[in-house]
Amino acid sequence: MRSSFVAGWALTIYVALFTISERAQAQSVEAQPLNLRADVSAHQLLRQMDAAFSDLAYDGVFSYLMGDDLASLRVVHKVIDGVRRERLVHLNGAPREIVRAGETVSFLVMPGDDLYGLGRSIDSGPFARAFVREFDRIDSTYRVTKTGHGRVAGRQAVKVEVRPKDHHRYGYKLWLDRDTALLLRSELVDHKGNKLEIFMFNQLKLGESVLDDALTPLQAHDTEVSLLTLKPPAVEQREAANARVSRTQWHPQWVPAGFKIASADDSRDDSLTRKSPAKRSLGLSLSRVMYSDGIATFSLYVEPMPASGAARLLSKNGATVALNHKVRGRSGPYLVTLVGEIPVQTAQNIVLSVSQRVISDAQGAPNE
């Protein structure tokens, strides 16, 4: 179940296109001092951090520790002529590179890469969370405070701590650039303070020093490496998919306080699934519903049980848990899989509560 780190990054960008496609296109800005005074609240800093991900031009090398897996990557981000452009390069191991231009995403794939498996990966990492954060609604489930200052990648930082009010989600320790509020370092911790994931920039350039050429992907010299380009479906297709998923009602009867549906789709509009000949030939469908509490996310995937059955799954890497459960639907057995950055016990309680309720068009979808 656990895909490669970069495979998860591919889906991170891909799902983000669905989740925030209506978000206004940000204009590129140079790094300008924010004059982060003592009276600037921690919530204001979080909102500035969110904007910095989308607005700033930055080019940096960062380390990402997830459980026992350590990755080193380079990220380049810039808005050119109103279009957001990003490039993510894996600096170790097999060639891995992802390039985004607006709503089009291209990435290098290796022989044996499971594209259907990409669709079963969860968005992970600090940049992924930037796409689904809704800081205005986290007060009921988190306490946010400024805790001091620090220094990361040679830059002065303001430290912010996000503590959960229950054991159904994890906490975050953040180091924000003093001048731009860009996230320089983050630690995802459990309720005992154990570090589950660590992200940290080692080198970073901002503003005019970020060159357009840095966004150009490298040509693959390995003939086994191929380039796959994905485009999101039209708005009408996404809305139709959301309606189908809502009426099918493969939703849990219990989720922790604060979690609401952030996005939904099904395999009829999923480019990754369409590119899986095995699944397509079997006529299997897949629906996905992503939940968010404003910071943390988890996704539920529901599909008809394969004729060969499915092995029981329960795995955890860093903060990411993946598990499945067999449920009885109106047309036979189904397999429900949860992947997300939530505690294992919470994930198990959610999966065990999933059931199917078919809603007629006259009834419409129920309120969350």
Length of the chain: 368
Backbone angle region of 24, left / alpha / beta, with phi > 0 → left and psi within -120 to 50 → alpha: beta
User: By C-alpha distance, which of 206, 223, 240 is closest to 365?
Assistant: 240
What's the CA dihedral at 253, 254, 258, 260 to 10 degrees? Answer: -30
- Domains parsed from the chain with CATH numbers: 5-229 (2.50.20.10), 233-356 (3.30.200.100)
Q: What is the pLDDT of residue 310?
A: 79
* Chain segment 263-311, per-residue pLDDT in tens: 777 654 444 444 443 333 333 456 788 899 988 999 999 888 887 777 7
Q: What is the mean pLDDT of the segment spanning 112-120?
A: 47
The overall longest dimension of the chain from CA atoms, in Å, is 61
Q: Which of 6-10, 15-19, 237-241 has the highest mean pLDDT?
A: 237-241
Top-confidence residue, 142 or 329: 142
Question: In this model, does residue 204 exceed pLDDT 90?
Answer: yes
Residue 23 · residue 142 · CB < 8 Å: no
User: 122: Cβ–Cβ under 8 A, 6 or more apart, which residues?
Assistant: 8, 11, 297, 298, 299, 320, 322, 339, 340, 341
User: By C-alpha distance, which of 357, 368, 315 is closest to 338?
Assistant: 315
* Chain segment 128-143, per-residue pLDDT in tens: 554 456 777 899 999 9
Q: What is the pLDDT of residue 364?
A: 39
Question: In this model, does residue 262 exceed pLDDT 80?
Answer: yes
Question: In this model, does residue 333 exceed pLDDT 50?
Answer: yes
Assign 199 a pLDDT band (cuts: 50, 70, 90): very high
Question: In this model, does residue 232 exceed pLDDT 70?
Answer: no
Question: In this model, does residue 115 exceed pLDDT 90?
Answer: no
Assign 89 a pLDDT band (cuts: 50, 70, 90): confident
Q: What is the pTM of this model?
A: 0.77
